[in-house]
Structure 1
């Protein structure tokens, strides 16, 4: 028997139909040689601290950092999950082969591997890897199943991400909650969540501390065309008025006229982030709302796999494009001209080097007739973008006219479209025109070099503006580029590997910040709340809130996927980091407490990145470990760590990295300070 395990019941139903497994049983389909069952997304999770030892059940500074010798998983304690897992476990024990039919991505791989690991799977496992759920795509996928081992690195990356989130989330949340929060409150810390909040708080202070300044621009009206001074802006009204007076009653002379032909490519195909940015800009949708809608379109088979970070198609998609376009019958007036000739194979669309597991989001060609409301709007956006990339470039003529009044230079520019190309796709409603209109098109009259005539100078007063609050769209872009503002598409592509989080997780991170009440929304603007500001101000460790560093971690996770970086090394680096953070925070003698963060009123749990962090502390003051009272002194054995005092012995802060220094209080009195202890050790070593 071959057992197929999918991620959702709806996907199981589609696959079962293709395989002829048409008998519906309790928790699975069966028929012929196949059984098809499903998970509900995550059925398993990493164990919580109290699952490893009773000592970690109570929140205590003395137990930090909590680093299990080996991380384990457990079933999520919900009756429906336990029931479905029992079905999977029973079928897996009878199977001769298992086919992993989970979502074809890092999270999907992790979900399936954990379930199979928990079920104790012993038989061979194959992997179904598809980019859409159409019948043809499913059949094609089953005709070329891959050995599961081919996707081991994907699993290692997903596992490293989950473990990394556990290490920083569980330890960071307990550490900062116990050290700095008011009784009963939880300060939620996360590997991705905290630097994202730091971006929003940083923008808050940029706006709050901004001091507006007035400036003046000099302009001249000549032949009904406004020319701008090439001298730039004036910082004082006196200087500006002096320049204006010098121009009054003088004529303008045209010094130069240049015309250049230009071309403009169609906007790139959508990846998940650019789709979320676009829908937020057009309709104010949240990132989570767009993710839920595009996931629904994928499951309804009208668009391809959505959780992608590339705007390119692989070259094997090229032969399928005419078929997809021909099936998009509601758009026949736009596709007919394309189908009359050969579809252009543009490197800006088809590039294998820019595609890893999945290509950009495109229509499958299946009829969108089942869609209504926002789903139909979203499909229309994707469909037009797909059609537009196969149209010719838009061609235009740019005119630049240089003039002078006395010694003052002036410049006017205009752009006229000579051939609309892809812009013709967007002729229609206002929203569609916005896609094609860059607001810079204007026709200039014909000017001749040497001509002159009367002009009307004027001053325009302006004021410098503070940065704008993030919208969900601009925040997603900031997360994608690790906090850097990037408009150039090529540069943006290059920075994606160093972004904060992944396209599939960023919406959830933003929603978590809203849930924790660290941020709030006013119309489209996202603002930091006082709780969010207080939390970031409390975190002295730049490592925890650095967008750049988090981007470096993300880069390493991607390298684990590719097989050129070690998952154990990534985890060891995070363990070291957590050790250093604990020592530094405990060494802070500040006793100030802040009333920030939110304790869950129902179960007393809080988010620690990817998982809950256990019971929140009672409003009692915990006993801090004695290490907080001592200065940092270099460990004489490894020369990298610091001497710390535990409850029974002195040791090194890098004991988890292999430093074997241990000096029991029976041999070295616990009244010794680390500096005195170091002198004693040094004397003994020199004998």
Structure 2
């Protein structure tokens, strides 16, 4: 008997159908010789600091850095039931070995490792590594299971990535929050990404537009221009001199140009094009692609490769045929040309997973079962796959130079010789999704045919006014591109670059920035908020460096390949924490008060923000924090006492305060005691009393 553990129930079901595990049990499926269960994504994650030591419940700068000696994992409350099922299965005496069938990538490796380690199991591990949930792919993968140890380096890289994010996020967030008395969230990858948004906004805000002029000649239908004349007097002179004059064709050049088909999709390119064509966010695209993968309609989406392996040549031909059959891209009459499959085959450029393509399953699938976004993403992938194996787009580029009054004007045009793969771009312009060129667009870039020395008489000249344009704000498309290439200039030419994050994590990084209210979507644009700008303003360069973060991603890749030891990577992260704390130590006291608008009564025990007195309570100045001390609260009012500023200040400073004039209704007397306060991570406050050694007397008994 062997146990298969997948990442999600839907994937488990697909595997179970292939290997014959059809009997439904609580939390798993069972067959004659196998059991298939699932994880519900990340079942276990690293615990927060206060789980290591209760004193970390309060955010104190002097407690930093927090670096666990031994990392602890905890299962989230809503997933405990499934974890205990897995734990029991992983330790069943009749289970000979375990198959890790979580998604074939860094995160899938981490999900399995955390569950396996927490279970205490010592069963041998084998790895199912597939790029498609088609039955044939699962069957082949199960017949060629790899030893779990083969992916040891990948698991180490996954662990280091998760621990590095914890260390930087927890320590930097607490450090800057306690220094500035305001909740400031800092992340290893999200902060450099935010820095790019802020820098772009600075470029836009600081841009000074300049006026310039173009002079346009109409030479019997040939439109030639002299562009970007910044001197108004010069533009005026050229315009007036040329108006009604003669012009002569100085030069005609024709060059044949070829545009190769695009590469197949990796995840980032898919997300960029879905944003450009459909306006979808990166997260929406990832969610739709993951769902299509689980429904066996596309191959594994979390890939950074844009090629297929050479052994997939016949598969690729079948897929192209099925796409045409299903979508009828050429209409019912025209037959598609034979796909040029070899253009997308390159074993050297496929590491863990090949590019994203549809599977042959789409031919029989009822598309009405798909949600709208899923249908759009599947169509986008299908058409793009056909484009990638299409013919080259070939055109003649024609450049004409016209001389008029010793001024040179230029005209450009082109004539398409072979439309090739670009015909399929029409699928997104036509309502019926067909690859048919609009007759109105034919020849739109052409120019009148002329020859050298041809003369034009009484030409018409027009002066037009323009302004230089600032850089455009980032869209999801351009931000993903910037994240992918961040730091590239600083790397050696042959370095295998990763940029900020990975294809699988970039969407989540953008969503975190928006959830933290450091960035906001405005149409297709992603803009930094005022809070985002301020955060980047106060942080040191090394925490917002895209180059440093890209270098870490590169080191994680080297770790996957066995070229870097985990300890070496983590030492670098710990050095970064030291640099960060040294920077915090050097912040002038007046600078730390930049967010303080009025006198505070103390520091919030939950987030480290400043606590202020309001009309009815003492509240945390951090809007994201719910901590407060009510002046009239049930606990104290039962003893006929209200919270005052002195009591609040002492509670925030020491966690307790000595209170006099408390009244006991039961004993009908006044007494004094130490009031203690505890606040949980959600800001909920509980009180308790303890009594000083000296006993109270009844001399203050009510009359």
TM-score tier by shorter-chain length is 0.7 to 0.9
Tell me if the contact between 2:423 and 2:436 (Cα under 8 Å) persists in the aligned partners. Answer: no
Could you tell me how far 1:506 is from its partner in structure 2?
A: 1.1
Could you tell me how far 1:413 is from its partner in structure 2?
A: 1.2
Structure 1 residue aligned with 2:445: 442
Could you tell me how far 1:103 is from its partner in structure 2?
A: 0.4
Structure 1 residue aligned with 2:342: 346
Deviations 1:392-442 (A, max 9, x none): 112211111122113211211111111211123344552679999999951
Instruction: From the superposition, tell whether residues 176 and 620 of structure 1 become closer, same or farther in structure 2 (CA, over 3 Å).
Output: farther
Aligned pairs for 1:249-260 (under 5 A) are 249-260=244-255
Is residue 511 from structure 1 mapped to residue 515 from structure 2 by the alignment? Answer: no
Aligned pairs for 1:475-514 (under 5 A) are 475-482=479-486, 497-514=497-514
CA distance in structure 1 between the partners assigned to 2:251 and 2:99 by the alignment: 70
Tell me if the contact between 1:258 and 1:400 (Cα under 8 Å) persists in the aligned partners. Answer: yes
Tell me if the contact between 1:338 and 1:390 (Cα under 8 Å) persists in the aligned partners. Answer: no
Structure 2 residue aligned with 1:600: none
**SS of equivalent to 1:243:** helix
Is residue 458 from structure 1 mapped to residue 485 from structure 2 by the alignment? Answer: no
**SS of equivalent to 1:173:** helix
Tell me if the contact between 2:6 and 2:102 (Cα under 8 Å) persists in the aligned partners. Answer: yes
CA distance in structure 2 between the partners assigned to 1:342 and 1:522 by the alignment: 43
Could you tell me how far 1:340 is from its partner in structure 2?
A: 8.4
Tell me if the contact between 1:192 and 1:500 (Cα under 8 Å) persists in the aligned partners. Answer: yes
CA distance in structure 1 between the partners assigned to 2:541 and 2:528 by the alignment: 18
CA distance in structure 1 between the partners assigned to 2:419 and 2:379 by the alignment: 21
Structure 2 residue aligned with 1:649: none
Tell me if the contact between 1:58 and 1:617 (Cα under 8 Å) persists in the aligned partners. Answer: no
**SS of equivalent to 1:459:** strand
Is residue 357 from structure 1 mapped to residue 352 from structure 2 by the alignment? Answer: yes
CA distance in structure 2 between the partners assigned to 1:517 and 1:340 by the alignment: 49
Could you tell me how far 1:371 is from its partner in structure 2?
A: 2.4
Structure 1 residue aligned with 2:65: 65
Give the alignment's Cα RMSD to 1 decimal.
3.0
Aligned pairs for 1:203-352 (under 5 A) are 203-229=200-226, 232-328=227-323, 329-332=325-328, 334=330, 343-347=339-343, 349-352=344-347
Structure 1 residue aligned with 2:81: 83
Structure 1 unaligned regions, length at least 5: 486-490, 597-602, 607-613, 624-687
For normalisation by structure 1, the TM-score amounts to 0.81
CA distance in structure 2 between the partners assigned to 1:435 and 1:480 by the alignment: 34
CA distance in structure 1 between the partners assigned to 2:384 and 2:537 by the alignment: 43
Tell me if the contact between 1:395 and 1:418 (Cα under 8 Å) persists in the aligned partners. Answer: yes
Could you tell me how far 1:473 is from its partner in structure 2?
A: 1.4
**SS of equivalent to 2:401:** strand
Larger Rg: 2
Tell me if the contact between 1:304 and 1:361 (Cα under 8 Å) persists in the aligned partners. Answer: yes
CA distance in structure 1 between the partners assigned to 2:98 and 2:442 by the alignment: 56
Instruction: From the superposition, tell whether residues 291 and 435 of structure 1 become closer, same or farther in structure 2 (CA, over 3 Å).
Output: farther
Structure 2 residue aligned with 1:172: 172
Tell me if the contact between 1:104 and 1:131 (Cα under 8 Å) persists in the aligned partners. Answer: yes
Deviations 1:563-585 (A, max 9, x none): 21222111100101111110221
CA distance in structure 2 between the partners assigned to 1:345 and 1:124 by the alignment: 40
Tell me if the contact between 1:334 and 1:387 (Cα under 8 Å) persists in the aligned partners. Answer: no
Structure 1 residue aligned with 2:380: 381
CA distance in structure 2 between the partners assigned to 1:436 and 1:554 by the alignment: 43
Is residue 472 from structure 1 mapped to residue 483 from structure 2 by the alignment? Answer: no
Deviations 1:513-569 (A, max 9, x none): 111111112211211111111111121x10111112211111111111122122211
**SS of equivalent to 2:229:** coil
Structure 2 residue aligned with 1:671: none
CA distance in structure 1 between the partners assigned to 2:296 and 2:244 by the alignment: 69
Instruction: From the superposition, tell whether residues 121 and 617 of structure 1 become closer, same or farther in structure 2 (CA, over 3 Å).
Output: same
How many matched pairs? Answer: 596
Tell me if the contact between 2:47 and 2:74 (Cα under 8 Å) persists in the aligned partners. Answer: yes
